[in-house]
Amino acid sequence: MNPLYARMGTTIFEAMSARARATGAINLGQGFADGPGPRAVLEASAAALLEKSNQYPPMIGLPELRAAVADHYARHQGINLTPDEVVVTSGATEALAASLFALIAPGDEVLCFQPLYDAYVPLIRQAGGVPRFVRLEPPHWRIDSAALAAAVTPRTRLVLLNNPLNPAATMASAAELAAIAALCVEHDLIAICDEVWEHVTFDGARHLPLIGFPGMRERTVKIGSAGKIFALTGFKVGWMCAAPPLARVLAKAHQFLTFTTPPNLQWGVAAGLASEDEWVAAASARFQAGRDRLATGLRDAGLAVLPSAATYFLSVDLAESGLVMDDVTFSERLVDEAGVATVPVSAFYAEAPVTNVVRFCFVKEDATLDAAIARVAGWV
């Protein structure tokens, strides 16, 4: 048995959702929306399932989807990619695995930021890499450039960044991204930038892709997910974008992870990327209203709510709220005693966790949010 997995617990997202299912709690833990997603994506997927081939599509993805992804980023982010620079994966999770497996040689160090998505560290370790952490802290979660520079060693090969950042709900500033880019250029590092939340941004903020910074076009892997763009998390269609010498190596790892992704879902996503810009913008506006509704309700209940600039999440600072308990205790008691599932933010740290912050998902119907607020208010 691989001790990495033998010793490991179940991911917090599944653990909290299972607990919510078992107890009938309102699930504000795992991040997923309760709407159906854009009709055009569902119809194109259903039509393709019935009318097009369901045999293996090309290994790096349908050419139509790769072209749609390239076109989408040209339109929204001013990045010029050719379709050959896009490799379609089974969700961003597979893109992360393929990138890390393809780019890490045993003993290589990967500079990453805590809090981090819980898949990152096991994937780095499985690839034989060594994570080196730069720690971010509430309430602002800003990147300290001195800490960043201090984390680089002669063995550092990669930087793994998530922007916008789950669970902090922050967007890296232009200055922070420029500092990361300068570091990559200075030390000849490759950046893997997980940008799955690039379209779920609020208050008019614009996402800045790291690949667009000076010196980064040839040394960045940009990861995206249709699950987030169209609020269809079960679709598991993602991609990695990179210059041809990188993309070719990424494809080698992808070919022996999943080889491919269901073709009808690829057709649906291609159709959506071409036609659903308005749906995507309207969804963000709806999610922003949900954020404000939940933030107001939790504040009225006496909780200290941290700012949320992006993602499906906001966080509560327990210490600032006057609650004397850690995040895991809070989450466990809230789900069992009040019937509301959340996620303790310490689950996003591999070492020296922040233990006073709990994450709530707000992309739910108003009635669901109101019911959750009432349960929290009656419990705290």
Name the binder of 194 from ligand PMP, ligand GLN, none, CB < 5-8 A by kind.
ligand PMP
In whole angstroms, how close is the CB of 288 to ligand GLN at the nearest point? Answer: 18
H or E element, residue 275: helix 263-275
CA dihedral sign, ordered 23, 26, 28, 34: positive
Minimum distance between the CB of residue 194 and ligand PMP, rounded to whole angstroms? 5
CA distances from 197 to 31, 94, 268 (A): 11, 16, 20
Interface residues toward ligand PMP, by CB under 6 A: 31, 91-93, 117, 162, 166, 194, 196, 225, 227, 233, 236, 238
Phi, then psi, of 45 in degrees rounded to 5: -65, -45
The residue of the chain with the least Cβ separation from ligand PMP equals 91
Which residue's entry shows tokens 């300290």? 144
> Among ligand GLN, ligand PMP, none, what binds residue 30 when CB lies within 5 to 8 Å by partner kind?
ligand GLN
Nearer residue to ligand GLN within complex by CB, 167 or 209: 167
Q: Give the tokens for residue 221.
A: 């892997």
Residue 225's binding partner out of ligand GLN, ligand PMP, none, with CB under 5 to 8 Å set by partner kind: ligand PMP
User: Could you give the CA distance from residue 14 to residue 29 in angstroms, rounded to a whole number?
Assistant: 9
Q: How far is the CB of 30 from ligand GLN (least distance, A)?
A: 5
CA dist 156 and 11 (Å) reads: 27
Q: Among ligand GLN, ligand PMP, none, what binds residue 13 when CB lies within 5 to 8 Å by partner kind?
A: ligand GLN
The entry of ligand GLN, ligand PMP, none near residue 238 (CB within 5 to 8 angstroms by kind) is ligand PMP
The answer to whether 69 and 86 are in contact (CB under 8 A) is: yes
Closest CA to 266 of 240, 228, 239: 239
Q: Which residues make up the interface to ligand GLN (CB under 6 A)?
A: 11, 13, 30-31, 166
The two structure tokens encoding residue 135: 């720690």
Read off the tokens for 43. 């119809």
Minimum distance from CB of 237 to ligand PMP (Å)?
A: 7
Minimum distance, C-beta of residue 238 to ligand GLN, in the bound complex (Å)? 12
Is the Cβ of residue 11 or residue 368 nearer to ligand GLN in the bound state?
Answer: 11
